[in-house]
Amino acid sequence: MTDLRMTGIGMTSARTRDRLVQRLREQGIANLAVLDRIRNVPRHIFVDEALGSRAYEDTALPIGFGQTISQPYIVARMTEALLEGAPSGAGALDNALEVGTGCGYQTAVLAPLVTHLYTIERVEPLLARARERLKELGIRNVRFRHGDGSLGWKAHAPYDGILVAAAPLTVPDALLKQLKVGGRLIVPLGPEGEQELVRFTRREQRMERESLGAVAFVPLLGGTA
Ligand code: SAH
């Protein structure tokens, strides 16, 4: 890949990206490490070339297989919610699990902010493409798995953080079980049109639940494709 493809020109240039970052700031994203990732991850390489000029608009875009790349505001908000309360800087969390890799954009935003990132996607060709993109970006601390993420990934549990990018109707028990004490699970819950983003924090004796507002995600599906 040429440097120009990575850095972008015109509608994918640094100026266009700065405008997106400014917009997210205005909408309340305050974590500087997160804003820095939004500025530096070339979102345009995760979408079809034909959509490249729209990559820094704050909207979801199609990535094939009936799926979408998440809206930058939502990626930033979820990442910030996951990191909140953790020490700042690189590797703020020791290990984290992502469910619903999609094109790998959220994965690329989060990867340098954790020591180990594990990510699961049920659609094999999407996973393959995400793996390729992250390699191109020189991101090496991510392990990929083709499977049903609602079961979590037991071998590397428990996690400091779990981020789910597709909406189940109710929170999968396996994911709650794979959280460390103090660990956080960020998950959109509910049927299409009525979803809310929820943060669960595992405490010694109980699970804390906070609502982070209304969202719109694709549904979390069982099995693989
Ligand atoms: N954050 C992603 C967007 C993902 S869209 C990005 O930035 O591109 C949600 C993804 O979750 C889709 O790719 C979908 O295939 C996947 N998905 C849905 N149910 C799943 C499940 N049970 N396990 C793993 N992935 C799932």
The reported pLDDT for the residue numbered 5 is 79
Does residue 186 belong to any structural domain of this protein?
yes
The reported pLDDT for the residue numbered 88 is 64
Domain of 203, in residue numbers: 3-214
Does residue 223 belong to any structural domain of this protein?
no
Does residue 220 belong to any structural domain of this protein?
no
Give the chain's domain count.
1
Strands 195-202 and 142-146: unpaired
Does residue 222 belong to any structural domain of this protein?
no
Q: Alpha-carbon dihedral of residues 61, 97, 113, 21, nearest 10 degrees? A: 20
19 Cα–ligand 1 center, Å = 27
Enclosing H/E stretch for 19: helix 14-26
Give the whole-angstrom CA distance, residue 75 versus residue 87: 20
The reported pLDDT for the residue numbered 136 is 96
The CB-side HSE value for 210 (13 A sphere, CA atoms) comes to 11
Q: Which atom of ligand 1 is nearest to the CA of 101?
A: 2
Spot the catalytic one: 13, 70, 88, 150: 70
The reported pLDDT for the residue numbered 170 is 96
Strands 114-121 and 93-99: parallel
CATH number for the domain harbouring residue 137: 3.40.50.150
Give average pLDDT by consecutive 10-residue segment, the chain, 225 residues.
72 87 97 96 93 93 93 97 77 90 98 97 97 97 98 98 97 97 97 96 96 95 86
Does residue 210 belong to any structural domain of this protein?
yes
The reported pLDDT for the residue numbered 87 is 65
73 Cα–ligand 1 center, Å = 17
Does residue 225 belong to any structural domain of this protein?
no
The reported pLDDT for the residue numbered 8 is 77
The reported pLDDT for the residue numbered 6 is 82
The reported pLDDT for the residue numbered 89 is 58
Does residue 176 belong to any structural domain of this protein?
yes
Does residue 224 belong to any structural domain of this protein?
no
